[in-house]
A and B are shown apart, each in its own frame.
Chain A
Amino acid sequence: MDKQNITLTVNGRNFDFTAEPRKLLSDALREDCGLTGTHVGCEHGVCGACTVLVDGKPVRSCLTYAIQMEGHEISTIESVAKGSELSPLQQALHEAHGLQCGFCTPGIVMTFEAFLQANPNPTEEQVRDALTGNLCRCTGYQNIVTAILHAARRMKELA
């Protein structure tokens, strides 16, 4: 299948490249946009490492083709910190030791940046339910849950 011109809007910036329709969004972000913060784990929608935001909603970028995303606003992990200033969620993950190797962290951050916008007062049960979509092999999840709940409180104070 011939390559086609594709324009993606990622983190407010346009990227033009050519790719086949089968090019996964996860690969396009890493290879064509040079944004390697989005990690590729299982490539079938189970691990959650590749989660990005499309129009503000968390989406598995390995289950989406780049060509489908023309006209949509994509946000990746590279957009979350403002310069050297971490987002409240990133800061909370740092303080609570909510990551170890960090491979799953971009997917967790993107999932919960969206989740905390939609659910500013989550219960621990709701956080754990949402976190089932992101596999972490290092931390045992306890510190991630602690960090997310802490971030929710801090974001309310800042709001």
Chain B
Amino acid sequence: MKPAAFSYLRPVAIGDALRQLADGGGEAKLIAGGQSLGPMMNMRLARPAQLIDLNDLSELAYVRESGDALHVGALTRHYQVAESPLVRRHCPLLAQAAQTIGHYAIRQRGTIGGSLAHADPAAQFPLIAMTLGAKLHVRSATRERTIAAADFFVSAMTTSLAADELIEFIEFPKARVGEAAAYRLFNRRHGDYAIIAAATTVSTSGGQVDRLRLGLGGATPVPQALHALGQTACGRRPDDDWVRDIARGAAEQLVVEEDQRVSIQFRRELTVTVVGRALRHALAQLRA
């Protein structure tokens, strides 16, 4: 399997990349790690006329603190997100999820900006961005704007990013002090995309839950953040009944379509299991 022919550009500054992207008029495609685009091009599911290679834009690879937020540059590789002391401390959910992406070699190369722009419904970073309410800071040659994750993901593999825009960095809110985080997924083979994935953060005060964030990925065209369910979870003691209620509630709220390989019932039952695992993992951290 070989890709169709394309022309190749390798800009050394963001400004050059944005100009080339604007000149490409929709025929050009950005490539960063290439761990999703590469297979799609080899299988000729994607046939861009031109590739603009972002790998020399080292100015886009960073993790920085900014007040109550973390800024993660779009070219930050998955392993760098997973190992960053700042991410582990201030956004542990993001670090945990990054560590589960694909395989060891894939994590050395793939980038967070690339994964978000690719918008695979079962991928880790879109789910985390939705669950935490991340903001994507994007640029074209002529303008800058900030897009909330909920407005960024339109459908499977489809985002609101314009043809002349690239993601510059992603803003994640810092976790609360003492907040626990957990990411769990189920797939049939290690490293595959999730059939169902759950991302959660839990914080308590006085023995009662005061904030639950819960997101589900892998089952719907866009990952879902279950805000209403998170509200009903507050003010209760996080015991076994609480875990069961939340896990069942999540499965009930999941709007899934029949899939040739995964029946609706199987996916709902998996949801109860995977959400339960994520919640119990988070609660174990709170007790520790």
Contact = CB atoms under 8 A, between A and B. Distances in A.
Given A20-B5, A43-B42, A68 B10 contact: yes
A72 to B, nearest CB: 9
Chain A residues touching B, majority SS: mixed
Contacts of A133: 102-106, 191
Interface of A: 1, 20-22, 24, 27, 43-45, 48, 51, 57-60, 62-65, 67-68, 111, 115, 129-130, 132-134
A112 to B, nearest CB: 9
A60 B8 contact: no
Contact of A60 (B3, B53, B106): B106
Contact of B104 (A24, A44, A58): A58
Contacts of B43: 44
Interface residues of B, number: 28
Interface in B36-55: 38-39, 42-43, 51, 53, 55
A150 B22 CA distance: 53
A63 B104 contact: no
B8 A111 contact: no
B6 A58 contact: no
B24 interface: no
A59 B4 CA distance: 21
Indicate the member of A21, A58, A134 with the most B CB atoms within 10 Å.
A21
B8 A21 contact: yes
A68 B53 contact: yes
Given A44-B1, A129-B104, A132-B191, A67 B42 contact: no
A21 B51 CA distance: 9
Contacts of A132: 103-104, 189-191
A115 B104 contact: yes
B2 interface: yes
B109 interface: yes
A48 B104 CA distance: 10
Given A44-B39, A62-B38, A22 B3 contact: yes
B34 interface: yes
